[in-house]
Amino acid sequence: MSVDGITMILTPDAKSLADTIKTTLTSFEYSVTLEPDIDYTVSFEGANDFEVTEGAVLNYNQNTTHDITVSAKAVYTVSGRFIDSPGTDTTVHTVTSLIFTNEDDGYSYTAQINGSSYTVQLRNGNYSAAVKSDGAHTNTHVSVSGKAVSKDLLLVEDSAAQLSVEWA
């Protein structure tokens, strides 16, 4: 795992007058100067697939070494089939790519496609799905909340006839 582009944020207790500290990581070691005897909570930007599991709060009044343990967030299997919309022929469009984008942070995950089905590992959150195919798209959303999800994705033909309404 690379730490390039990851920012460590140390947020002081809300009751203190101390400033939030942000430092861009270039290695797995860090050095910061904190106000003494104030709780600082560690979080990260740019590492949304990970969470602090140990050492999240720092409170010292002298120089010290403090380890922070970061672990991958839990992921859950999301799987399903591609189904055609009503009115298309019975053959499922050929999907060549399926990408799920987390609506909160914009992280994208590429699904594995096997014929007319897919599988992907996603962490908790809400995702929009985008397909590349031979003439179809989807507007499907998937929500993951602590367990595996089975969700068929409705494919709508790109050239589907538009309903024309004439007004009198």
For 44-101, the pLDDT digits (tens) are 988 888 999 999 999 999 988 899 999 999 999 999 998 886 655 455 678 999 999 9
Quote the pTM value. Answer: 0.76
Q: What integer is the mean pLDDT of 157-167?
A: 62
Give 131-151 pLDDT, tens digit per residue: 988 888 888 899 999 999 999
Share of the chain above pLDDT 70, in %: 88
In SS3 terms, 87-126 reads as: CCCCCCCCEEEEEEEECCCCCEEECEEECCEEEEEECCEE
